[in-house]
Structure 1
C-alpha cells in the first residue's frame, strides 16, 4: 500500500518539482557514496599503516636476532 501512496503523491507533482526531486535524489546518492568511499578508504589506509609499522619492527629486529645466534 505505501507504494501506491508514493506513486499518487509523485503523480500530483508538477514537472519542475519532479525534476528538482530527481536532482536532489541524484545529489543525495552522490554525497552518500562519497562519504562511504572516504570511510572505506580510511579503513584501508589504517590497515596499510599498521602493516607498515609491523614490517619496520621486523626489519629492525631481524639484524639484532641474527647477531645473537
Structure 2
C-alpha cells in the first residue's frame, strides 16, 4: 500500500499550508490503520519532520500522483 505523508520540515515553526511537503511510502501492512502507524513511526525515526496527515492512496489517486506530482517512493 502506498501512503502519502504530508509534513512540515521543522517541528519548531508554525505550520503554513504553503510550506507543506509530501513524501510517499510503500508500506506492507494488514490494515490501513496499521499502515498509518508504521508510516508515522518510520518518518519520526528517520526525520525531524512535523507530520500533518497520512493518507492511503487509492489506485486512481496513485495513478494521478504518478503523472501530476513529483512522485518517488521514499525509503528509509
- Normalised by the size of structure 1, how large is the TM-score? 0.27
Give 1 or 2: higher strand fraction: 2
Give 1 or 2: higher helix fraction: 1
Larger Rg: 1
